[in-house]
Structure 1
């Protein structure tokens, strides 16, 4: 080991923050010393009481849940190095990097480990505090003895003799103090994750929270894909139709449809970006629901697709999740029609089915039924088994249909897509009381 490696810890800031952490451990002993036995006429025997008297008080403090939070924050800030030592701006903390939890005690096991940690801090802090006083005194005594005097070490021992070589020994107490600070600092940093680390339940909760955030980001990305994909598809189809028509009136209608579709897509984009940035200055716009389905139907008609729609039942009374997911499913179905079949005749049926009769399998459960049909394109269909060419000659996959099935499964419903009686059909049924299915992709974790 090179000699320079011995001095490397002294160049690290965390060494000195750990030193501060070690010294703060002696504070309970100092405070108790003022009460009993007092510092006047303090003998070495009485000094040992300072290692014992604060213990019951520390154990009592450890029983308070917030004690673990305070100790965890202090240990994370002073014993660990790097960005993981600080809480993030979103209020979460990276316990996986530092290994130290900064949460109140949630069980008696947490309280017991906190008590062990506080007692350990007391004993180590008293030892470091004593050495921080005595070792510099020993160094001064060696220097004084080297000059011919009698050096007092402060512990009842005196050094005399007037030997000049005592001066060569003077740096050794400081070197020993530095070694003790580095070693005990490392020891406390190693003990903190074991005594203050997150429990198995806390680790599971943190993992579930992280999974929820990832699933929420995936959901937002899917919504953004649906919205922007629909807008771009309508714009491309409208622009191509306007160029082929060569009519100023048709071009005006096409531009108006592109403008309206683009404006809606920009609103969706702004809402998603606000959620991703977690900007609380502005409230994000509400997600569209099936009550706004007419906007989708008009954009498809404006793209040149002869569209007939049949709407049965009050769409305004649909539950929020069902209405929003139904809107996105309808949007994706119409986008697939325009993208893969072009402006072909489309038949859309939206039906809010009433509660089934008593004794029926779906008794007490109304449902939303969506049915979108269009003639099969001559160049192929959108399937998941293989990529197929679209009318423009590009190749595409079946992620849109997979997204439709995932949205339906999320609400406990079902989706059927594929050729049917010479047509391409997307048929979806969503129960009106459908809560997120626990095994569905993207389903959030139930909360108490």
Structure 2
């Protein structure tokens, strides 16, 4: 029995019950203003006043529904008054109620339906909110032995003490109506003010873009940090084996420069992951490729480079991804073959960007072709509409080659 009572009385202890009630009362404001403009509305008797309030604002509401911003205003109001709990950005996003302006005629039609529903529910609730407490007071007056006759209510010409039993009944009915209609309006808001198909698609695309961006950042960190660690390990080992103070100084300088660049890449990636930083640091591009070549030379490799074409004028996505592809190829050379001679060719023309890195095969080749780095290199190329291959060539060298089309990006 106690469980049943708590279930019955729990809505009366929740703030959202009364904010929903307020939301319904607000709906009759438009009808009340229309009644003042119409003139003579409030000289009507009984329920005629409420009928006028329910009918007069209909044309105005239908016209207002055509204004895109009205949907946003109604969505914000519904979120604040119809949904329980906190109302921060994350909580509001989880209410299922949209706060974007109307983007289509379908949105405008749903907004019109919502406004008419608010009026159809809000006016009767407002009428009951006014009349039922008056009825309770009339019963109280009759129980005290007074004849009563309030406007809009039947007269009580035979007062009696038993009317005291009826005093709480109108208030109970009013609370029951307020709770039930409040729940109804909260459910209807999700249907009529919920995201449209276009909005849901946009949210899905945004979520997909965020996931892809995180995956891209993970790949970039793998390339950048992996390259830095590989160069650092090789430089440290070479410096210890050489036993030359001059070589050790050069090795430490190379480690410092490589580590500084890796820290810059790490900071940029962390900034991208923070939503409060609108302009993260710029990503490296192929115009900075000389930095990669110097890093490989500092690690002990003899690098022969051939750079041709307008590298500085390449489209941003191609230039950035091309830099990472060259970085990954050089990292694999240092990691799996050591400080061996490397040939790098970066050529751009009007149609495509070509990247090629060659190096002698190590004595005991590692299964680099199935590694994460080269797999990521191929994925980068495919995303840009190109192709990348890696493997031994006819001369017995390891060759990484990528071709990225440019014509459709210009």
Q: TM-score with structure 1 length normalisation? A: 0.84
Segments of structure 2 that go 5 or more residues without pairing to the other structure are: none
Rounded to whole Å, the distance in 1 between the matches of 2:194 and 2:383 is 35
1:415-426 alignment, distance < 5 Å: 415-421=388-394, 422-426=396-400
Contact 2:41 2:52 in 1 (8 A): no
Matched, 1:305 2:301: yes
Matched, 1:178 2:171: no
Rounded to whole Å, the distance in 1 between the matches of 2:17 and 2:364 is 70
Q: Deviations over 1:412-440 (max 9, x none)?
A: 2111112224222111112233539xxxx
Give the equivalent residue in structure 1 for 2:353.
368
User: 1:160, CA displacement in angstroms?
Assistant: 6.1
Aligned length: 406
1:191-210 alignment, distance < 5 Å: 191-210=188-207
Give the equivalent residue in structure 2 for 1:71.
74
User: 1:152, CA displacement in angstroms?
Assistant: 4.6
Q: Which moved more, 1:142-151 or 1:152-161?
A: 152-161
User: 1:315, CA displacement in angstroms?
Assistant: 2.6
SS at match of 1:44: coil
- C-alpha change, 1:326 and 1:147, in structure 2 (3 Å) is same
User: 1:60, CA displacement in angstroms?
Assistant: 1.1
Among candidates 11, 18, 21, match of residue 19 of structure 1: 21
Give the equivalent residue in structure 2 for 1:55.
58
Give the equivalent residue in structure 2 for 1:285.
281
Contact 2:369 2:391 in 1 (8 A): no
Give the equivalent residue in structure 1 for 2:36.
34
Among candidates 249, 254, 258, match of residue 252 of structure 1: 249
Contact 2:137 2:167 in 1 (8 A): yes
Normalized per residue, the structure richer in helix is 2
SS at match of 2:407: coil
User: 1:239, CA displacement in angstroms?
Assistant: 1.8
Matched, 1:378 2:363: yes
Rounded to whole Å, the distance in 2 between the matches of 1:314 and 1:435 is 15
Rounded to whole Å, the distance in 1 between the matches of 2:235 and 2:163 is 95
Aligned-pair RMSD on alpha carbons?
2.4
Matched, 1:166 2:163: yes
Give the equivalent residue in structure 1 for 2:83.
80
- C-alpha change, 1:107 and 1:136, in structure 2 (3 Å) is same
SS at match of 2:111: helix
Contact 2:217 2:269 in 1 (8 A): yes
SS at match of 1:310: strand
1:35-434 alignment, distance < 5 Å: 35-38=37-40, 41-44=43-46, 46-47=48-49, 48-82=51-85, 86-87=88-89, 94=93, 97-152=94-149, 154-159=151-156, 163-280=160-277, 283-352=279-348, 354-355=349-350, 365=351, 367-383=352-368, 385=370, 398-421=371-394, 422-434=396-408
Contact 1:413 1:434 in 2 (8 A): no
Give the equivalent residue in structure 2 for 1:445.
none
Segments of structure 1 that go 5 or more residues without pairing to the other structure are: 356-364, 386-397, 437-448
SS at match of 1:105: coil
- C-alpha change, 1:105 and 1:318, in structure 2 (3 Å) is closer
Rounded to whole Å, the distance in 2 between the matches of 1:172 and 1:380 is 89
SS at match of 1:2: helix
User: 1:250, CA displacement in angstroms?
Assistant: 1.8
Contact 1:151 1:159 in 2 (8 A): yes
Rounded to whole Å, the distance in 1 between the matches of 2:314 and 2:22 is 61
- C-alpha change, 1:160 and 1:347, in structure 2 (3 Å) is same
User: 1:88, CA displacement in angstroms?
Assistant: 5.3
User: 1:105, CA displacement in angstroms?
Assistant: 1.8
Rounded to whole Å, the distance in 2 between the matches of 1:340 and 1:215 is 29
Contact 1:413 1:430 in 2 (8 A): yes
Rounded to whole Å, the distance in 1 between the matches of 2:377 and 2:196 is 39
Rounded to whole Å, the distance in 1 between the matches of 2:111 and 2:406 is 49
Rounded to whole Å, the distance in 2 between the matches of 1:423 and 1:112 is 67
User: 1:86, CA displacement in angstroms?
Assistant: 4.8
Q: Which moved more, 1:20-29 or 1:331-340?
A: 331-340
User: 1:332, CA displacement in angstroms?
Assistant: 0.7
Q: Which moved more, 1:120-129 or 1:261-270?
A: 261-270
- C-alpha change, 1:75 and 1:435, in structure 2 (3 Å) is same
Q: Which moved more, 1:22-31 or 1:192-201?
A: 192-201
Q: TM-score with structure 2 length normalisation? A: 0.91
Rounded to whole Å, the distance in 2 between the matches of 1:432 and 1:257 is 34
- C-alpha change, 1:65 and 1:314, in structure 2 (3 Å) is closer
Rounded to whole Å, the distance in 1 between the matches of 2:15 and 2:335 is 60
User: 1:146, CA displacement in angstroms?
Assistant: 2.6
- C-alpha change, 1:306 and 1:399, in structure 2 (3 Å) is same
